[in-house]
Structure 1
Amino acid sequence: METPPPFFFDTHAHLDFLPLRERLVEELAQARAVGVGAWVVPGVRPAGWPALLATVAKVPEVLAAPGVHPLAAADWNEETAAALTGLLDAAVAVGEIGLDGTLSHPSPAVQERAFRDQVRLAIAARRPLLIHCRKAMGRTLEILRDEGAQRVGGIFHAFSGSSESARDALRMNFAIGLGGVLTFTGARRGPELARSLPAEWLVLESDAPDLAPEPYRGQINRPAYLPLIAARLADLRGWSLAETAAITTANARRVLGLHPY
C-alpha cells in the first residue's frame, strides 16, 4: 500500500480570488493529493467578505479570517466594524490587516486607524491576527505592542523584516509565515530566518494565487504548490518532509487556537 503524503496546513490562501474560486473543487482535490488538507482564507475588502464566506462554507477544512487589508483601509468605518464584529464568531482569525508603506493611498493615518480598530476587535473576540506588513515593520510592531496584541498573537504573513524584528514578533506570540519567496533563486533573508528562528514559530503559507514558488515563479500560484515551500524549509532545517509537515501544522493549530495541536 502506498504511503500517504504528510499533512500540510496552508495558513494563507486567497481561495476566494479568481481564478481559484472558479475551480475550487479541482484545485483543492489536487492539493489534497499532495497532502495539503487545511487552509485559512484571509479577507481583503468588506465587499469581498460574502465571497470569502461562501468559499469557506463549501469545505469544512477551509477557515475564514475576514478583515480589511491596508489597501482597503479607506473602507473602514463604524458600519464596517459592526459587520466584521458580527462575523468573528465563525472566524478563526482577523486578517489580513496591517500597514503597507508602499501605498500612496490610503494614507498612513487611515491605515493605522483601520489597523488599530481591528486589533482591538480581535482582542475583544479572542481571535488571533494575520498581519500584512510592507515597509512599515517598526510602526506595525509598535502598534501591536501598544494594543497588547500578545494576548491573541497570530501570524506575520510573508514576513520580510530583520531577524531582530522577527524575534520581536515572536515575543508577542506571532508566528512567521513562510511562502513562495523562500524558494526564489537568490533569496537570502527568508532562508536565513527559516534556518535560525525557533522551530515552534514557523508556519507555511501559499498566498495563492500570488507568489508562486520556484519553478512556477511568475505564474498563477496553486494550493497544490505548498509542499514545494515545505521541501525548501526541510532542506534549510535538515528535517524530513514529514517532520516539516508535522512541526508547521502543529504550530499553525497552536497559534490559531485549533485543536489538537
Structure 2
Amino acid sequence: MKKLDPYLFDTHVHLDRAPLSERLKPEIEAARAAGVGQFLVPGVAPTAWAGLMETVATIPGALAAPGVHPQAAANWNAQTQSALEALLHKPAVVAVGEIGLDSLLPAPGAQVQEAALRGQLRLAREAELPVLIHCRKAMGRLLEILREEQAHQVGGILHAYAGSIESALQAVDLGFAIGFGGTLTYPNARRAPEVLKALPAEWIVLETDAPDIAPHPHRGESNRPEWLSLIAAEVARIRNWSLAETARITTQNAQRILHRPEKTDN
C-alpha cells in the first residue's frame, strides 16, 4: 500500500502478546509500510502490565491502556486498584483498558465483572482518561453501568463492537466511538456493515485486535498489525470514502477521543 498521509491508527492491538511480541520489529516495520503510524496497546491482566509498558516504550507511536479485562476481573482488589492508579500517571498511558463485561465467559461471574468495571470507570474519571470497552452479550447492562458511573465524562471506544445500530448510537451519545476490525471484512458480515453505515463519521475508529480476529482473506490466521490496511479498505468501500479520507477521519477521531495532539506524518 502507498504510504498514507495521515496514517492509520490501530486503536486496539496486543503488541505485548505472542506471537507478535516474539517478532516485534519486523511486525512494526511491515505495519508502517502498510500505512499504520500509531498503536494503542490494551492491558488484560495486572501480571502483564509491566510487559505492556516495556513493549510500548520500545515503539515510537505506541501508547498504552492498562486495565483489567473481564476474564481477569477476579484480580480486582485494593492492591490492583492502587497499582493501576499509579500507572495512569505515566506519560505513555492514554486510556484504561480493556475493561467491560463478557457474559460468554464461564468465570468470573457478572457480579465480579461489574465490580471490576465500576472500579476502573471511577479511576478513569478521576484520571480524566477515556476507556476501552470489551463487551460480549451484555450490551444492555453495559450501557446501564456506563450511565450510572457517568462514563460520558471521559468517553472512549467500544472495541470489537458486535451490537445493534440502536446500542451503537446510545454509546455514541455517551461519548464512545465504535471500533471496527477484522469481522467487518468477512464475506458473510451483515450487522457490522449496517452499523458502520449508520454512524456519524466522527465516531468511527479502526482496530486489528491482533493477534486475534484476522481480516479476510486471512481469517483463521494469527492477525498482524499491517492488516489494518485491509480493514481500512473495507471501511472506505462501505462509506464510499477514499483510503486517504478513511485514514484522515479515523485517525483524527482516535486522536480526539484519546486526547492526543494531531499529527500528520509518521
TM-score range, shorter chain: over 0.9
Q: Distance in 1 between matches of 2:164 and 2:254?
A: 22
1:19-168 superposed matches below 5 A: 19-90=19-90, 91-168=93-170
Structure 2 unaligned segments of length 5 or more: list them: none
The corresponding residue for 1:175 is: 177
Q: Secondary structure at the match of 2:54?
A: helix
Aligned residue identity for 1:137? M
State the Cα distance separating 1:3 from its structure 2 match: 6.0
- The CA distance in 2 between the partners of 1:68 and 1:225, in whole Å, is 26
Q: TM-score w.r.t. structure 2 length?
A: 0.96
* CA displacement 1:71-122 (0-9 Å, x = unmatched): 0000110000000000001210000000001012101000000000000000
Q: Aligned residues: percent identity? A: 59
Match of 1:208?
Answer: 210
Letter in 1 for 2:69: H
One-letter identity of the residue aligned with 2:203:
W
Stretches of structure 1 that go unaligned for 5 or more consecutive residues are none
Conserved 8 A contact 2:32-2:226: yes
Give the Cα separation in 2 of the matches to 1:4 and 1:133: 33
Q: Work out the CA distance in 1 between the residues paired with 2:36 and 2:89.
A: 25
Which amino acid in 1 is paired with 2:145?
I
1:52/1:131 Cα in 2 relative to 1: closer, same or farther (>3 Å)? same
| Number of positions where the alignment pairs a residue of Structure 1 with one of Structure 2 | 260
Q: Using the alignment, how far apart are the partners of 1:243 and 1:94 within structure 2?
A: 28
* Corresponding letter in the other structure for 2:75: D
Deviations 1:150-203 (A, max 9, x none): 000000000111111001100000000000000011100000111111000000
1:209 is paired with a residue of what secondary structure?
coil
Query: Which of 235, 238, 243 is matched with 1:236 structurally?
Result: 238
Query: After the TM superposition, which segments of 4 or more aligned residues of structure 1 sit over 6 Å from their partners?
Result: none
Query: How far, CA to CA, are the matches of 2:242 and 2:33 in structure 1?
Result: 19
SS of the equivalent of 1:212 reads: coil
Please report the TM-score for the alignment, with normalisation by the length of structure 1: 0.98
Q: Separation in 2 of the partners of 1:97 and 1:11? A: 14
Is the contact between residue 41 and residue 65 of structure 2 (CA under 8 Å) also seen in structure 1?
yes
